[in-house]
Chain A
């Protein structure tokens, strides 16, 4: 197991569907866990609008139902990120990534503001179309090597993973929230409610760090 980022401390086996903790994945997992707990206990910020040419300012009010929904979505996003960090199965990784994409849309979808809704819709279209290379990449992994297990791939005894499979996987992850599609997400960040919106960018960062490890296998 030379290609895994460190020797796994612990491998939780469900047959082929395993979960493993290396120093790298455990760091990312703890980061996701910490931010999920922050989201769980924090209260939403109240965005301030300042009127130009005067001293007047207003704070936006966030209703309780909206706050509940967005907090739920942010926690779901954190759970999906945690799953993507520790899973040892390529297909499960893609499913968790797709779920992060859905929950990212969900975090801002409750905001009743036309431009936020519009940005969320456009980002959702990109995220949905990104599932094509994402799942396609995982399927080519299985077709070329006969295994989806990252531990097996790291052993180096399987056939080499074709470049196209890795390219598909990275393309899919990019579509779920990386640059250059990040521009669409930036517009979503105009939604009020700081701790929840930060979960969007944090989950993207974590998924990106994790896919770097995945493509270096096999």
Chain B
């Protein structure tokens, strides 16, 4: 086991060194930011090499912090280069907007996400909704989605309290947490896809 881990570590660190070399020779600020996204991957790789449940639990906060830093940096980049005034538009491709394909793909993704359940399922289902909204140029009152996200989050937290204080009802809590997180991630992701750059907030 140690042999495999060491070789894996070596490969990941070699990947990291290559990414850092690219970063060191890159001159353009935007390209540096994009390369940093690549640099983040070896750090997740090092954690993933643990190969246990702990690794899974550690990757999530690591990923979140990485994404938060990238979002912050990209905002600073926009301010720095004074490109804040460009409104973000959806995919305005006419062929897609009229066809049934986005609907079918979205239904498939949402259905598959619901079957997967949990955080991964929420991600897949959310991706389906994002794709649908973007291809249709969908405009809707987003307060309803925000409310659904908040309620499902409360359900998730409530399930955790059941785990802690009423462990004999663990099955109800498990189902509650799974449904809560799948709804929360789905609605959150579709909000991320539709809210930015729109004035219908």
Contact = CB atoms under 8 A, between A and B. Distances in A.
Do A and B truly interact? yes
Interface of A: 91, 95, 98-99, 101-102, 105-106, 109, 112, 114, 117-118, 120-121, 124-125, 127-129, 131-136, 138-140, 142-143, 148
Contacts of B47: 135-136, 138-139
A124 B43 contact: no
Contacts of A140: 9, 46
A144 to B, nearest CB: 10
B75 A143 contact: no
Given A91-B58, A142-B54, A125 B73 contact: yes
Contact of B69 (A102, A117, A133): A102
A148 B9 CA distance: 19
A102 B75 CA distance: 12
B49 interface: yes
A127 B20 CA distance: 13
Contacts of A132: 16, 39-40, 42-43
B32 interface: yes
A114 B68 contact: no
A101 B36 CA distance: 15
A134 B61 CA distance: 13
Interface residues of B, number: 35
Given A131-B69, A135-B62, 13 more contacts: A91-B58, A102-B72, A105-B73, A121-B76, A121-B80, A125-B33, A125-B73, A128-B73, A129-B39, A132-B43, A135-B47, A143-B5, A143-B50
A43 B115 CA distance: 53
A139 B69 contact: no
A143 B2 CA distance: 9
Nearest to A103: B72
Given A101-B69, A121-B29, A136 B80 contact: no
Nearest to B64: A95
Nearest to A134: B43
B33 A138 contact: no
Contacts of B65: 95, 98-99, 102, 131
A118 B82 CA distance: 12
B32 A118 contact: no
A95 B80 contact: no
B162 interface: no
Contacts of A114: 80
B48 to A, nearest CB: 8
Contacts of A134: 43
Interface string B28-44: 01001100100110111
A91 to B, nearest CB: 6
B72 A106 contact: yes
B77 interface: yes
24 contacts: A91-B61, A98-B69, A102-B69, A105-B73, A109-B76, A117-B76, A117-B79, A120-B76, A121-B76, A121-B77, A121-B80, A124-B72, A124-B73, A127-B69, A128-B66, A129-B20, A133-B43, A135-B46, A135-B58, A136-B46, A139-B46, A139-B50, A139-B55, A148-B54
Contacts of A138: 47, 58
A76 to B, nearest CB: 12
A142 B62 CA distance: 15
Contacts of A131: 40, 43, 62, 65-66, 69
Nearest to B43: A132
Nearest to A168: B46
Interface in B11-38: 16, 20, 23, 29, 32-33, 36
Contacts of A109: 72, 75-76, 79
